[in-house]
Amino acid sequence: GPEASFITARIVGDSVSAYVRGALLNVGRRVGVASGQAVVTGEGLAGRIAEVGDNSARVLFVTDVNSRLPVLIERTRERAILAGDNSPQLRLTLLQSVAGVQRGDRIVTSGHGGSFPVGIPVGEVVETGEGSVRVRPFADFSRLEFVRVVDYGVTGLVGGGPSAPAAAPAGVRIR
């Protein structure tokens, strides 16, 4: 597939919209930021771009209650959905079997849904209980200053990437 390109961004404010867990970045559409692009730290996935302006963008963190992410348990390759609940940890849901999940298992993106490629680190299983699995994200949201907005060249369910120009009607020349 295409090589990923990235833009380094500074977090300039907390989100003050319906997104409880998010931030405002100092980059936007003018430098190539688009909805759905991944936002990563040196440790792993922090979230995705939710809204874009000309010179700014809002990040929806993976810990937000509105965040859902198709993931894999790296050791077993079992698919699941990682859901935020506005707490510091995430919930692993829609597992076929919780029994195979172990404390310390790494969680990575699955590539399903077309939003992100396979294998971006997201977090580590810290608790397994009766029908419940909790994951600690690798990104430390309390200390974020700079992030990378990454364009992996995939456009899936979320959108993202530049849209193709509309085709001209038959017989019309575009200069």
- Summarize pLDDT for 115-134 with one digit per residue, the tens: 788 899 999 999 987 778 99
Residue 73 is inside which H or E element, if any? strand 68-73
Other C-beta atoms closer than 10 Å to the C-beta of 15 total 18
Residue with tokens 């600690």: 136
pLDDT at 115 (0 to 100):
76
More confident residue, 90 or 165: 90
Q: How confident is the model at residue 163 (pLDDT cuts 50, 70, 90)?
A: very low
pTM attached to this predicted model:
0.81
Give the span between the Cα atoms of 88 and 32, in whole angstroms.
Answer: 30
Instruction: Please choose, from the candidates 57, 79, 128, 80, the residue with its C-alpha nearest in 3D space to the C-alpha of residue 47.
Output: 57
Instruction: Please choose, from the candidates 113, 151, 165, 137, the residue with its C-alpha nearest in 3D space to the C-alpha of residue 35.
Output: 151
Give the span between the Cα atoms of 144 and 25, in whole angstroms.
Answer: 11
| Inter-CA distances, 65 with 59, 70, 94, Å | 13, 15, 16
pLDDT at 109 (0 to 100):
94
Q: How confident is the model at residue 153 (pLDDT cuts 50, 70, 90)?
A: confident
**What would the two tokens of residue 87 be?**
């707490």
Q: Is the pLDDT of residue 65 over 80?
A: yes
